[in-house]
Amino acid sequence: MEPRILGLHHVTAIAGHAPRNYDFYTRVLGLRLVKKTVNFDDPGTYHFYFGDETGSAGTILTFFPWEHITAGRRGTGQATEIGYSVPAGSFDFWMQRFEANGITYNKPSEKFGERYLTFLDPDGLKFELIESKTPDTRTPWTTAEVSAGVATKGFHTVTLTLASTQATAEILTDVFGYTLLEKHVNRSRYVTDTVPGGAQYIDLVEAPGEARAITAGGSVHHIAFRVKDDEAELYFRQKLVARGLQPTPQIDRDYFHSVYFREPGGVLFEIATDNPGFAVDEPLAELGTHLMLPTQHEHLRPQLEQRLPKIG
């Protein structure tokens, strides 16, 4: 059997003030910090990974919090919305929570037969909480304030806004094995059947008259698709090469192995493996509690522990 893309692996975005970012995602949204490390290319900046208990693929939202980053602008050539699956009936809880914490949100609406609630994080990153019409059996991370009856279960959808969707759609269908599920006006929903219940949808919005995005604070940096292992990743890398794209070599990111490429619409895509996972350097019970440094930056630990902002 040929390898398959197993839905979304993670989404990486750009933030500003690191303590504010940490507080919002762990306290307000109720996610677990599963890894506290640094940017491979800029070790003076944190790289936070938020998700469920184990950092399961399809739940991981990661951030580069650059302290003095300017604000980005949503537009074409960018992932513009991140959708989280939540239990039906949880919107009242979330609206009250957003009100109490000064979070900008809109009243619930509906698309493709699903109710959704839009909100912005403190840096302006756009999200949707979605009452999925497909049963989502994933076990959420919970806190004293965010119970299982309302907690996010992981990703539902990522939306890409594009000047033209055709070439991007062909990558999803011809290379990644997605199929067109529904279309309404200028929004098309693609789905994979490899991960029923969560992290399986990509929405493409065609907006030819919209300005090009500016990727900075409050923007998605890239989205990552999940594969089982290195063999599957290299299989898809070869498919991309055969289509005339220019994927990177496989890169070791400590917790997964990555191949990056820019799809024809301009969005940076990554293919990421399940292996080796987030427990490779910390026990499950202690995920996110230590500053974990890539081997090449370990010699900088004394300076980084002084320089990096305190969180928690």
pLDDT in 10s for each residue of the chain, 312 residues:
899 999 999 999 999 999 999 999 999 999 999 999 999 999 999 999 999 999 999 999 999 999 999 999 999 999 999 999 999 999 999 999 999 999 999 999 999 999 999 999 999 999 999 999 999 999 999 999 999 999 999 999 999 999 999 999 999 999 999 999 999 999 999 999 999 888 999 999 999 999 999 999 999 999 999 999 999 999 999 999 999 999 999 999 999 999 999 999 999 999 999 999 999 999 999 999 999 999 999 999 999 999 999 997
Tell me what pLDDT residue 100 has. Answer: 98
What's the residue count for the chain?
A: 312
pLDDT of residue 142: 98
Question: Which pLDDT score, from 0 to 100, does residue 9 have?
Answer: 98
Residues in Cβ contact with 278 at an 8 Å cutoff, skipping those fewer than 6 apart: 34, 35, 49, 54, 55, 255, 287
CB burial of residue 20 (10 Å; 0-12, 13-18, 19+): middle
Q: Check: pTM over 0.85? Answer yes or no.
A: yes
First to last CA, the chain: 46
pLDDT of the residue at 131: 97
What class, spelled out in words, does domain 8-307 have in CATH?
Answer: alpha beta
Q: Quick one: pLDDT at residue 289?
A: 97
| Residue 264, pLDDT score | 97
> What backbone torsions phi and psi does residue 266 show, to the nearest 5 degrees?
105, -5
Cβ-contact 168, 223 below 8 angstroms: no
pLDDT value, residue 197: 80
**What confidence score (pLDDT) does residue 312 get?**
77
Write down the pLDDT at residue 78. Answer: 98
